[in-house]
Amino acid sequence: MSQPTRLFDFAYYALTHHPRPDALNTKKNGSWHALSTAEFVRQSRSLSKGLMALGLEAGERIAVISTTNRSEWNLCDQAILQAGGIDVPMYPSISAQESAFILNDSGSVYCFVSDAALVEKIQSIAHEVPSLRGIYCFETVPGVQTVADVIALGEQAASDADDLLQARMDAVKEMDLATLIYTSGTTGTPKGVMLSHRNIASNTIASRERLPVGPDATSVSFLPLCHSYERMLVYLYLYTGVGVYYAENMETIGDNIREVKPDVFTAVPRLLEKVYDRIMDKGKALTGAKRLLFFWAVELAEEFDLYGKSPWYKARLAVARKLIFSKWQEALGGNVKTIASGSAALNPRLARIFAAAGLSIQEGYGLTETSPVISVNLPVNGGMKLGTVGPVISGVEVKLADDGEIWAKGPNLMMGYYNRPDLTAEVITPDGWFKTGDIGVIDSDGHLRITDRKKEIFKTSGGKYIAPQHMENVFKESPFIEQCMVAGENQKHPVLLVQPDFAFLRSYCDRKGLPFGSPAEVVQIPHVEARIQKDVDRINTQFGQWEQVKKIYVCPEQWTIADGQLTPTLKLKRKAILARYEAAYSGLYA
């Protein structure tokens, strides 16, 4: 078939050009369950016919919520779209009240959920959602219909059901609305981003040139499929012929990666930071020659340059890769060609060390509103530059506004915010440029670098501007710091709120013979706060005098999505964090 133009076309393209016996793979009860390309298409068609038998009309919305990534998510996505519906992916971690808002705002008529806990959650708010006609579960839950029931209904449909489905598919045009993705945002009510088939399909095809693997490759997927980035990548994997293996959960990622031995996977910077922190923690536990060799290799990696190092450096790096970094590669399966990083800024030092270790991290940039990719590095032909998010992908235009804000235009730009023309007008100019809200620079080679969020930059009472995101990224180099927030708008100097890495703190306390009763108790230990302060003082010297944080507050609990301090993609909800620690924050200026 020709190039896909609608999202459900990618599965048929894969079936024609590179069918796989293991297109989508989910682990259940200790075993991998493979869904071939052919079976994926067959089951999705039955599910589409089942939805039509239930009464789904073209243009109606169906929500999809899954606690973990699994093949059923893609089956529902494919079936809804080819039946002419619009799907509404939702995060499983949001509150019941936020779930009710999204279901009502989208007018969802059905809801697909993965498990009993989500069934209970949606049932608890169903009376608040008058449009909702039914809830269907991936798993067997007493008294609840399943996705398999809808598939069976489609398989029993009348003989003309295939013709009716084909008519629905033929009626879908590439400019039609395909999905509503609600952005949690760092403040305010969720906004429904309207993305057409063309928006995401064009972005998928344009991203192909930045994927350095082919049809013989495998990937491990664990970023939520409801996130526009991971969802687009699954279409890209279908388009390219890459087999997808879904990690069981966030705790088993390491085991799943070592088992599958993927060629590619995606990650957010915080996950890569945790991987690095654990590696360094193991290095610190070494003794004698092994310890010296480990830290010699890390120091060598900090000097790494993708281009132009001396033969003497390259010879030493080859030794470091064989003796030390080969073990890092083995921990990620041994076959990784590239790791795609997005959603937030990656610390350039971390990218440099991983690259020296032979683990290429392709940092990219985009937003839900841009379907999502705007730019991404390519680790061949000089297309990679550490500390940048790469050159802009084909078909997309980028320019910088007078204040440095990144503006983007292209076929990937959203249709607008659902039911919110006012908000749409705020971010899309009359001539079609999207205001990203990010500040950046474009270097002479056309590589884009993000410097901060426009709305997060603040001014001290002395009139100095502070770009907190960059500073936070550097402070998180400390293994003691899992999350942190630079604050101090209209104050005489910035301060730092620290959420410690409590897992690392526990191992540190064990080594030092310090008690670890609870997070709230351990941060009260003077030695612990002093040790965190020591790292902050060391890192502080990298900043200008006006930027340096003068005081810190070590928070007594972990910041979580459920408690409202983080978005589902682990970005800081700054207003919520300040409100939570208002007294402590004020005390830093007392």
Per-residue pLDDT of the chain (590 residues; tens, 9 = 90+): 689 999 999 999 999 999 999 999 999 888 999 999 999 999 999 999 999 999 999 999 999 999 999 999 999 999 999 999 999 999 998 889 899 999 999 999 999 999 999 999 999 999 999 999 999 999 999 999 999 999 999 999 888 999 999 999 999 999 999 999 998 655 567 899 999 999 999 999 999 999 999 999 999 999 999 999 999 999 999 999 999 999 998 888 889 999 999 999 998 887 888 888 888 888 988 999 999 999 999 999 999 988 878 999 999 999 999 999 999 999 999 999 999 988 777 888 888 999 999 998 999 999 999 999 999 998 776 778 988 999 999 999 999 999 999 999 999 999 999 999 999 999 999 999 999 999 999 999 899 999 888 888 888 888 888 889 889 989 998 999 999 999 998 899 999 999 999 989 998 999 889 999 899 999 999 999 999 999 999 999 998 888 999 999 999 999 998 888 988 778 888 989 999 999 999 999 98
Asked if 374 contacts 396 with a C-beta cutoff of 8 angstroms, the reply is: yes
Count of other CB atoms within 10 angstroms of residue 364: 24
Sign of the CA dihedral with 563 first, then 565, 571, and 575 last = positive
Contacts for 143 with CB less than 8 Å, ≥ 6 apart: none
Count of other CB atoms within 10 angstroms of residue 558: 16
> So what's the pLDDT on residue 150?
98
Asked if 581 contacts 497 with a C-beta cutoff of 8 angstroms, the reply is: yes
What is the gyration radius of the CA atoms in the chain, in angstroms?
25
Phi, psi angles (nearest 5°) of residue 169? -65, -45
> So what's the pLDDT on residue 1?
66
Q: Are strands 110-113 and 134-137 parallel, antiparallel or unpaired?
A: parallel
In this structure, the dihedral spanned by the alpha carbons of residues 309, 312, 318 and 323, taken in order and rounded to 10 degrees, is -130
Asked if 468 contacts 457 with a C-beta cutoff of 8 angstroms, the reply is: yes
Asked if 512 contacts 527 with a C-beta cutoff of 8 angstroms, the reply is: yes
Using alpha carbons, list the distances in angstroms from residue 460 to 402, 465, 485, 494, 539: 22, 7, 15, 7, 20
What residue ranges in 101-156 does DSSP mark as E strands? 110-113, 134-137
Name residue, tokens 């990656």. Answer: 346
**Cα–Cα distance measured from residue 369 to residue 414, given in angstroms and rounded to the nearest whole number:** 5
In 192-202, which positions are buried (b, 16+ CB within 10 angstroms) versus exposed (e)?
Answer: bbbbbbbbbbb
**Cα–Cα distance measured from residue 145 to residue 96, given in angstroms and rounded to the nearest whole number:** 21
Find, among 173, 54, 56, 164, the residue nearest to 108 by Cα: 56
Find, among 473, 471, 440, the residue nearest to 458 by Cα: 471
**Cα–Cα distance measured from residue 515 to residue 524, given in angstroms and rounded to the nearest whole number:** 11
> So what's the pLDDT on residue 185?
57
Contacts for 420 with CB less than 8 Å, ≥ 6 apart: 191, 192
**Cα–Cα distance measured from residue 350 to residue 347, given in angstroms and rounded to the nearest whole number:** 5
pTM: 0.87
Q: For the residues of 32-72, what is the DSSP string, one character each?
A: EEEE-HHHHHHHHHHHHHHHHHHTPPTT-EEEEE-SS--HH
Count of other CB atoms within 10 angstroms of residue 282: 12
- The residues with which 27 forms a beta bridge, in sequence order, are 32
**Cα–Cα distance measured from residue 301 to residue 352, given in angstroms and rounded to the nearest whole number:** 7
